Amino acid sequence: MSLTNTDFQFPNQKSLYHGKVRDVYNIADKHLVMIASDRISAFDCILPQTIPYKGQVLNQIAAKFLKETEDIVPNWVESVPDPCVTIGKYCEAFKVEMVIRGYLSGHAWREYREGKRMICGVKMPEGLKENDAFPEPIITPSTKASEGHDEDISREEIIRQGIVSEKDYLQLEDYTRKLFQRGSEIAASQKLILVDTKYEFGKIGNRIYLIDEIHTPDSSRYFYSEGYEQRQKKGEKQKQLSKEFVREWLISEGFQGKEGQKMPEMPDELVLQISERYIELFEQITGQSFIKADTDNQKERIYQNVLKALKELDNVPEIP
């Protein structure tokens, strides 16, 4: 049984925010309880069907890679008390997503194909084909929209509008490049290519933290490295593990999230295929077998695990 949404009431809860995929609980402006549902979004729209085990896949991949990058940048995680839940520090989130691209794919390719050679103030070279590598990774940030579509924005505009201070923004860029390098190395060890991804950051006082998720199939695109060069030479599609095939299916059904377009209903076999893809990515990128959590009484399990973790966290004395 899929986890569609939650509506818990925890002690000292101040608010609940239902995102596209996650339900986020603010506990006394001290902790954030982030529950990864099985909802799936594309083109900034939530699709009507849920994908079994998707939330567990996202949560467990993110937990693993946040742990493996904490030497680069401190992160928000305090506890992972359930396969679908992460509890972390309450941070003031920066209102930008740091998107970094090593290859000309997805949104960048769609812009390039239309003749554009600038994206987010960054020049893209002439003569590239879809899925070619950039000479070096490019950072193409977007504004973090609470509703509707995120928008491309340049470094200059972010600083000019005061969305992020210049000092903080340069630090975010540095963290982004280092995280992408680490993610690329981990992917390569598993015979994958990390094509593009996004990172989100927040702040407590003067300290910047990496927040939300990293290197998951919702925030990243992966190619299989084996056969990549041959497929590029032949002009063939790359074998990939990402949400892009969901977007491609929606486009083939005449939907890109634009006004007046009707969201198509996914057939059951496509839902199952998407679930299998998410599990495949988990196993491919982590090198571990995916163990499906018991979905009977899932909400009660999550509620009790979060209650216990919050109690334990609040009994830990704060470090001065």
Give Cα separations from 113 to 102, 154, 200 (angstroms). Answer: 17, 20, 28
Buried b (16+ CB within 10 A) or exposed e, 235-258: eeebebbbbbebbebbeeeebeee
User: Global pTM?
Assistant: 0.90
Q: 72, 178 in Cβ contact below 8 A?
A: yes
Mean pLDDT of the chain: 93
> What is the pLDDT at residue 146?
57
> Within its chain, how far is the Cα of 157 from the centroid?
24
Q: C-alpha dihedral over 70, 74, 78, 79, to 10 degrees?
A: -20
> What is the pLDDT at residue 149?
61
- 13-92+269-314 is a CATH 3.30.200.20 domain: yes
Which CATH fold would you assign to the domain 93-246?
D-amino Acid Aminotransferase; Chain A, domain 1 (3.30.470)
Count of other CB atoms within 10 angstroms of residue 268: 9
Q: C-alpha dihedral over 11, 144, 261, 131, to 10 degrees?
A: -120
Average pLDDT over residues 139-143: 96
Phi, psi (rounded to 5 degrees) for 121? 80, 5
Average pLDDT over residues 289-317: 92
pLDDT tens per residue across span 35-66: 999 999 988 889 999 999 999 999 999 999 99
pLDDT tens per residue across span 270-301: 999 999 988 988 999 999 999 999 999 999 99
Tokens 């990515």 belong to 281
204 pairs with which residues across the strands?
207
Can you tell me the distance from the alpha carbon of 205 to that of 42, in angstroms, rounded to the nearest whole number? Answer: 34
- For 245, the 3-state DSSP assignment is helix
> What is the pLDDT at residue 320?
42
Ordered by start, the domain boundaries in the chain are 13-92+269-314, 93-246
> Within its chain, how far is the Cα of 289 from the centroid?
21
Strands 220-224 and 192-204: antiparallel
> What is the pLDDT at residue 148?
55
- DSSP letter at 282 equals H
- For 182, the 3-state DSSP assignment is helix
> What is the pLDDT at residue 144?
76
- For 181, the 3-state DSSP assignment is helix
DSSP for 51-85, please give it: -TTHHHHHHHHHHHHHHTTTTTS-B-EEEEEETTE
Residues contacting 181, CB < 8 A, separation 6+: none
